[in-house]
Structure 1
Amino acid sequence: MIEYILISSFIIVASILGYALRFLTKSGSVSAVFVGLLICFGLGLKGLILLGIFFVSSSLWSVYKRKEKMVVEEKHAKGSRRDYQQVLANGGMAALLSVLYGFFQTNHLLLAFCVFIATSNSDTWASEIGTLSKRRPYSVRTFSVVERGTSGAVSLLGTMAAVAGAILIAYSSYVLFNLQISEFWVIFLFGFLGNVIDTFLGAYLQALYRCSRCGVETEKIIHCQRRTALIRGRKFLNNDVVNFISGIAPAIAILLMY
């Protein structure tokens, strides 16, 4: 009982600290508490550590060379601070899988949880590090050079970052949960696959708008204090929805495989 009280207190303090350091908004901080508590219920401290590795590493990359990313953020719907939608998109399914594991204690649920976190980490590292590439990325839809920060675009640096992000979570899972080496490769490969799915969804289906005042292509519904015009994709498929789908797809694939 005392152990759970201490862990719960740690989750709350960590969420408040995340808000104080501007990693989270107020809504993001509250959501992080609930996600953390649910993960604690199913997978205990080890699950929280894995989630913490994702959150801390991704948050640090998001503030790394922040000034150089300011222009890129004009294309994104949100900044580097995670709100409740971003927290749930990157951690909601992980929390559900953790709760299910708490009831059923099956290995495939544990692997699906790890894969979901690996996908989130791979995608976030690719986005945050890839935008710092000296060379402009290529669109997977048109195979042409596009502006940095464009959804559905890839660069060598971003791809390497995606691989590294997936490997970090796969190795951490391997150590924390005493997994087999084959399971390490499953988490890595499916985690990276989730990033690939995110890229193609971003290129073909994610909503993209154009500002009528400055002409910039952006994911924002409002830009220059004016409503933007949809030029591609589906309105309901914003970045948070794309992140959720790209995370849940490989996790479901794991469940079906096992």
Structure 2
Amino acid sequence: MNGDILIYILIAVMVILGYSARLLTVSGAIAAFGVGFFTVLGLGLKGLFILGLFFVSSSFWSKIKSANKSKAEEILVKGSRRDWQQVMANGGLAALSSALYFATEDKLFLLGFCICNAAANSDTWASEIGSMSKVKPFFIKTFKRVERGTSGAVSLLGTSAALLGSFVIACASYYLFHLTEGEFLFILILGFTGNVVDTLLGAFIQAGYQCSVCGMKTEKTVHCGRKTNLIKGIPFLNNDTVNFLSGLSALLLGTLIQ
């Protein structure tokens, strides 16, 4: 019991540090503690390490700035500081999988936890690293080059980063949970698949807007002090919703295959 208390204190310290470093908002910090709590409940320190690997590595890439990336952030609704919606979109399903593993001890939920983190890491690395590409990406719906940071766009750098992001989580899961080579590939492939689904949703149904003042295409509903005009997608399907749906798709696909 004392050991568990120390672990939860560790989570609280990590969350406070994340807030102090401006990686989390207040709501994001509260949500992050909840995700950490349920992760430790089912999978202990090993699960917390996987979760921390995703959060720390993604935050690291978020903080790296370049001229290209700064311009890309003009397109995005939110910056590198995560609120509760971003935390839950990327970590909520993993926390749920861990809680279900605690209740059932079914390995399916352990693999689900790993897949969710691999998908989240794959997508985040693709977005953060891909936005630093020197070459503008292709929008998969039209195959025309668009601004960096556009949802539904792909580049060689971003795609490579997505595969590497999934690979990192799959490797850590393989060693920490003593998985088989087949389970390693299972996590790797489905994690990357989550990013592919995210890209498809981003291109075809995620909401996109255009500023009525400067003409910039963006995900923001307000730009240059005025409301933007919806030019594609469904209004309530923002980036957080798409992230959640892509992780859910990878999880459900893994459940069906398993």
Give the TM-score, by structure 1 length. Answer: 0.98
Q: Cα–Cα, structure 1 residues 101 and 35, in superposed 2: closer, same or farther, change >3 Å?
A: same
Is 1:24 aligned to 2:29, yes or no?
Answer: no
After superposition, the C-alpha distances for 1:95-127 in whole angstroms (9 at most, x for unaligned) are 111100001111111111100100000000000
After superposition, the C-alpha distances for 1:30-87 in whole angstroms (9 at most, x for unaligned) are 1101110011111111111000000000000000125542211110010011000000
Tell me the residue number matched to 1:171: 171
Give the TM-score, by structure 2 length. Answer: 0.98
Q: In 1, distance between residues paired with 2:201 and 2:145? A: 18
Q: Which amino acid aligns with 1:224?
A: C
Tell me the residue number matched to 2:188: 188
After superposition, the C-alpha distances for 1:8-49 in whole angstroms (9 at most, x for unaligned) are 000000000001111111110111011100111111111110
Conserved 8 A contact 2:119-2:192? yes
Tell me the residue number matched to 2:39: 39
Tell me the residue number matched to 2:136: 136
Q: In 1, distance between residues paired with 2:74 and 2:65? A: 16
Is 1:231 aligned to 2:226, yes or no?
Answer: no
Is 1:253 aligned to 2:223, yes or no?
Answer: no
Conserved 8 A contact 2:68-2:148? no
Q: In 2, distance between residues paired with 1:239 and 1:165? A: 19
Q: Which amino acid aligns with 1:247?
A: G
Percent of residue pairs bearing the same amino acid type: 55
Q: In 1, distance between residues paired with 2:225 and 2:247? A: 33
Runs of 5+ unmatched residues, structure 1: none
- The CA deviation at 1:146 is 0.9
Q: In 2, distance between residues paired with 1:148 and 1:35? A: 31
- The CA deviation at 1:250 is 1.1
Partner secondary structure for residue 145 of structure 2: coil
CA RMSD of aligned residues (A): 0.9
Tell me the residue number matched to 1:116: 116
Tell me the residue number matched to 1:64: 64
Is 1:9 aligned to 2:9, yes or no?
Answer: yes
Q: In 2, distance between residues paired with 1:229 and 1:211? A: 7
Q: Which amino acid aligns with 1:33?
A: F
Tell me the residue number matched to 1:155: 155
- The CA deviation at 1:144 is 0.9
Q: In 1, distance between residues paired with 2:26 and 2:16? A: 9
Q: In 2, distance between residues paired with 1:140 and 1:22? A: 33
Tell me the residue number matched to 2:83: 83
Q: In 2, distance between residues paired with 1:117 and 1:25? A: 21
Q: Which amino acid aligns with 1:208?
A: G
Q: In 1, distance between residues paired with 2:237 and 2:151? A: 12
